[in-house]
Amino acid sequence: MAAVTVSSNYKIHRDRHCKIERNLGKMGHLYALDFDGVLCDTCGETAISAVKAAKLRWPALFDGVDPTVEDWIVQQMITVRPVVETGYETLLLVRLLLETRVPSIRKSSVAEGLTVEGILETWIKLKPIVMEEWDENRDELIDLFGKVRDDWLQNDFSGWMEANRFYPGTADALRFASSKVYIVTTKQGRFADALLKELAGITLPPERIYGLGTGPKVEVLKKLQKMPEHQGLTLHFVEDRLATLKNVIKEPELDNWNLYLVNWGFNTQKERDEAAASPRITLLELSDFSSEEPLLKVDLQIRIALTRDGNVADRSTGKSEAELDEADDGTGVALHHLLLDLRRFHFRQIGGRERWLLLLTPFLPRLVLFVIVHVIKHQK
Q: Are 275 and 283 in contact (CB under 8 A)?
A: yes
Residues facing 273 on adjacent strands: none
> Who contacts 95 (Cβ-Cβ below 8 Å, separation ≥6)?
54, 57, 58, 61, 130, 134
* Per-position pLDDT tens, the chain of length 380: 544 433 333 333 344 334 333 433 346 899 999 999 999 999 999 999 999 999 999 999 999 898 999 999 999 999 999 999 999 999 999 999 999 999 999 999 999 999 999 999 999 999 999 999 999 999 999 999 999 999 999 999 999 999 999 999 888 888 888 889 999 999 999 999 999 999 999 999 999 999 999 999 999 999 999 999 999 999 999 999 999 999 999 999 999 999 999 999 899 999 999 999 999 999 988 887 765 432 223 332 322 222 333 343 333 344 444 444 444 444 444 444 444 444 444 433 444 444 444 445 455 565 565 566 566 666 65
User: How is domain 2-40+164-290 classified at the CATH fold level?
Assistant: Rossmann fold (3.40.50)
d(CA 281, CA 275): 6
Q: What is the pLDDT of residue 177?
A: 82
Q: What is the pLDDT of residue 175?
A: 84
Q: What is the pLDDT of residue 68?
A: 93
Domain regions of the chain by residue span: 2-40+164-290, 43-160, 304-379
Residue 123 gets the label, from left (phi > 0), alpha (psi -120 to 50) or beta, of alpha
Alpha-carbon 331 to chain mean position: 32
Is 203 strand, coil or helix? coil
Q: What is the pLDDT of residue 3?
A: 43
Indicate the residue type of 314.
D
